[in-house]
A and B are shown apart, each in its own frame.
Chain A
């Protein structure tokens, strides 16, 4: 099964983990590459650079910033392929951001 790991943290407090999060997540990416579970992913620029898009009627509405204004932001995502949720949870729990932020594990729509 494929899962998206949405890596969230409170960016205002993100000082000690920041360098790690940028550079391969403290060896996590390498480990998951080796295990063959990692299918893709990236780090994201802060939500202050985000634009939210909605279409209502025929009108394309844009707004500055994320769709939900919270301290916690999605700072990155990884796409993984695992046997089941238990394995996905195990992979997520090894991510360094799980220690200072949180990781939402979402299954992908699959045929």
Chain B
């Protein structure tokens, strides 16, 4: 096979897999059949495209092939003639003007099976980890083995998780549809939550050598792009995509050659991906113009403040602190409060920041979370209270979960300890 055909099949897989599976589930109601027939269609493409050439519309070719396969399989299983006719009659995407899902599509203003699939995968009656796995399998086309690797569980465990989730959808009557208007905000939040978790899993792994996990960020961006395209009236969908792009733009500079995390202020900003930043900013501006802010838009706006500062010293911390203030109103979590304390510490000085951190520490909400003492330590160090800072760094060091974080904190502790013992030691 020529590299061109190979690339065409790979490209079609990335672009069309979710659409084909979603369409076939819509036609047959059978998730396993849909996946198997989609797989068969790609197998046929690998066989035929090198010989016959790549079709003009690969997606339509694949959908038709998969649908024919489904009709064959259903015929062999001797399903009712009515159901067979129904499936056989259904035209490919873009031609199905009389498809039974039209009424529903007209109601919600969208007509794409992928959106129905995404909402069904992320139905709150499914366990969260099942939602995530199902989304990756059916929409992104990752194999069970790949998903298992990404979530560090044995393949049979992941396989059971997927089987159970599909069984529950069928047996419990989870509807295959975009939820009606009164459920839409809540369900959209669930979908956004799944995609954001996928992104973060991949992003957090970028310091390690784990490529399977790193790939999750790319999948999350791809799915968020699909979602934002399918829900143009939902500014939070665009906000989430913008947030992901603005973070992903910093990926290359987040880790140094030794595999250590590089803090935002020390990152080489020339290595940030200008294309991703530009796209993220544009998406965010368009979303904000709709004047329906939400947690993802606000977090994207915070990321945008960082992305737009040419140097760390140019960062508009006052704006960031104000944005965290608004985020707290929507997401009153202690982690958001801690982030706000950091921003206030930068905007108004360490005393103001420390006051907020002490408040949080007293509340006990973040007990055991290493970033609480780490933040306290940084603020104390900036105030010149080195003894107390060293104690807080040690406390953070005991709680930190990853080696990279421990190495960072140990470095800071060493610097601070040097200052405690006197100026002689600072000349190292």
Complex interface: chain A residues within 8 A of B171 (CB): 107
Task: Give min CB distance, A11 to chain B, whole Å.
Answer: 27
Q: How far is the CA of A56 from the CA of B172 in the complex (A)?
A: 31
Q: How far is the CA of A25 from the CA of B5 in the complex (A)?
A: 65
Interface assignment of B280: CB less than 8 Å from any CB of chain A: no
Task: Count residues on chain A whose CB falls below 8 Å from chain B CBs.
Answer: 11
Closest to B175 in A: A84
B179's partner among A83, A86, A88 (CB-CB below 8 A) is: A86
The answer to whether B125 and A84 touch across the interface, beta carbons within 8 angstroms, is: no
Interface assignment of B183: CB less than 8 Å from any CB of chain A: yes
The answer to whether A107 and B173 touch across the interface, beta carbons within 8 angstroms, is: yes
SS of B interface (majority): loop
The residue among A82, A86, A88 with the most chain B CB atoms within 10 A of its own CB is A86
Closest to A3 in B: B173
* Total of A-B residue pairs, C-beta within 8 Å: 24
Closest to A107 in B: B172
Q: How far is the CA of A85 from the CA of B171 in the complex (A)?
A: 10
Complex interface: chain B residues within 8 A of A107 (CB): 171-173
Interface assignment of B174: CB less than 8 Å from any CB of chain A: yes
Report B141-181 CB contacts with A as 1/0, cut-off 8 Å: 00000000000000000000000000000011111000100
Q: How far is the CA of A3 from the CA of B171 in the complex (A)?
A: 11
Interface assignment of A50: CB less than 8 Å from any CB of chain B: no
Q: Restricting to A44-103, which residues have a CB under 8 Å from any CB of B?
A: 82-86, 88-89
Report B104-129 CB contacts with A as 1/0, cut-off 8 Å: 00000000000000000001010000
Q: Restricting to B172-212, which residues have a CB under 8 Å from any CB of A?
A: 172-175, 179, 183
Q: How far is the CA of A83 from the CA of B173 in the complex (A)?
A: 8
The answer to whether B175 and A86 touch across the interface, beta carbons within 8 angstroms, is: yes
Q: How far is the CA of A85 from the CA of B123 in the complex (A)?
A: 10
Q: How far is the CA of A86 from the CA of B182 in the complex (A)?
A: 12
Known interface pairs A86-B179, A86-B183; A1-B125 also in contact (CB < 8 Å): no
Q: How far is the CA of A89 from the CA of B171 in the complex (A)?
A: 15
Q: How far is the CA of A89 from the CA of B179 in the complex (A)?
A: 13
The answer to whether B172 and A85 touch across the interface, beta carbons within 8 angstroms, is: yes
Task: Give min CB distance, B336 to chain A, whole Å.
Answer: 29
A88's partner among B123, B173, B183 (CB-CB below 8 A) is: B173
B125's partner among A82, A83, A89 (CB-CB below 8 A) is: A89
Closest to A88 in B: B173
The residue among A3, A82, A107 with the most chain B CB atoms within 10 A of its own CB is A107
Closest to B124 in A: A89
Closest to A90 in B: B183
Complex interface: chain A residues within 8 A of B175 (CB): 83-86
The residue among A82, A83, A84 with the most chain B CB atoms within 10 A of its own CB is A84
Complex interface: chain A residues within 8 A of B183 (CB): 86
Complex interface: chain A residues within 8 A of B179 (CB): 86
B174's partner among A3, A82, A84 (CB-CB below 8 A) is: A84
Task: Give min CB distance, B168 to chain A, whole Å.
Answer: 9
Task: Give min CB distance, A6 to chain B, whole Å.
Answer: 14
Complex interface: chain A residues within 8 A of B125 (CB): 85, 89
Besides the known contacts A83-B173, A84-B174, A86-B183, 4 further A-B residue pairs in the complex with CB atoms under 8 A apart: A1-B173, A85-B174, A86-B174, A86-B175
Q: Which residues of B contact A (CB under 8 A)?
A: 123, 125, 171-175, 179, 183
| Complex A-B: 10 CB contacts under 8 Å | A82-B173, A84-B173, A84-B175, A85-B174, A85-B175, A86-B174, A86-B175, A86-B183, A107-B171, A107-B172
Give the 10 A-B residue pairs with the shortest CB-CB distance, closest first.
A84-B175, A1-B173, A84-B173, A85-B173, A85-B174, A107-B172, A85-B172, A107-B171, A86-B175, A85-B125
